[in-house]
Structure 1
Amino acid sequence: MKMRHMKALAIKFIFTAVVLYSLLTIFEAASLTEILLISLLVTGIAYLIGDLVILRRFSNLVATIADFGLAFAAIWLFSSFFIYAASPIVTVSAFSAFFLAISEALFHIYMNEKVFEKEDDRRDDLTFTKSRLQAEFSEEEDIDYIRKKKKRPE
């Protein structure tokens, strides 16, 4: 795994752990070990599916919405599995997913500029994309060409 991906995973893990620690300790009786384990699982799943697959194929908005749904489902599932829920775990999962989605929107900008840019630049040098091709329209300025064109009978 390349160093850019390791740095991106570390950044994602840190903000995921901070958001989950902030909300799960307020609303739930979660230990630090449980929060770190849930953060690790949510980070891994969201990075593989949301950042490496969805973000590359779609826009930042689509990837952020997908990350919200993915984070909500993962936090709900893992929290109900690892933590004894004293309050409604769905509410805590929704708040956590909301704050993670806001963070993800900014993280996607970082991914596009710092992680994906070098890989995509190498590919762009070898292939032409539709947006890079343009038709060229010009008038001929060669005097000999203009004279020959005028002399031709139609």
Structure 2
Amino acid sequence: MRHIKAISMKFIATLVLLYAILGLIYGMSFGSVFMISLVLGITSYIIGDLFLLPRTNNTIATIADFGLALLVIWVMTESMVIGDNEFTYSLISAIGVVVFESFFHKYMAIYIHSESREDGMYIKNFRYQTEASEEFTDNISDVEKRNDVER
């Protein structure tokens, strides 16, 4: 239920934001903006919010969301609209989406991923340590015996 609430919030905010930028400023139809918001919301929720955010931090997840938003909006705008400057529309829209995403990631960290972290599902800090055992280290008495034998 908490994921449905989060993805619904993300979809509505993305739809309003993209309609304000793409629909009202650049004249794109509501249906096109709805489809872009749907595809972008689902893909960025799965890739950025569920996979990347728990394993990294807000900054890295936001940068990844910027790239994903730019790519999705640009490809879908290219295929839906006949125009000459879709990249600029996509860039401005991706910047707007990223501003929202940075706040949404904080919401996700507090309300969604905090419960998962308590279960031990996600480990943020990987600490690798070298393990050594006695088989790989020489005993001082063994070294002394070898030195005595060699003399």
TM-score, structure 1 as length reference: 0.75
Gaps of 5+ in 2: 128-151
Aligned to 1:110: 107
TM superposition shift of 1:130: 7.7
Alignment of 1:3-152 (within 5 A): 3-85=1-83, 87-123=84-120
TM superposition shift of 1:26: 3.5
1:120 maps to a residue whose letter is: R
Distance in 2 between residues matched to 1:80 and 1:33, nearest whole Å: 15
TM-score, structure 2 as length reference: 0.76
How many matched pairs?
125
1:11 maps to a residue whose letter is: M
Distance in 2 between residues matched to 1:121 and 1:15, nearest whole Å: 29
Q: CA RMSD in A?
A: 1.9
Gaps of 5+ in 1: 132-154
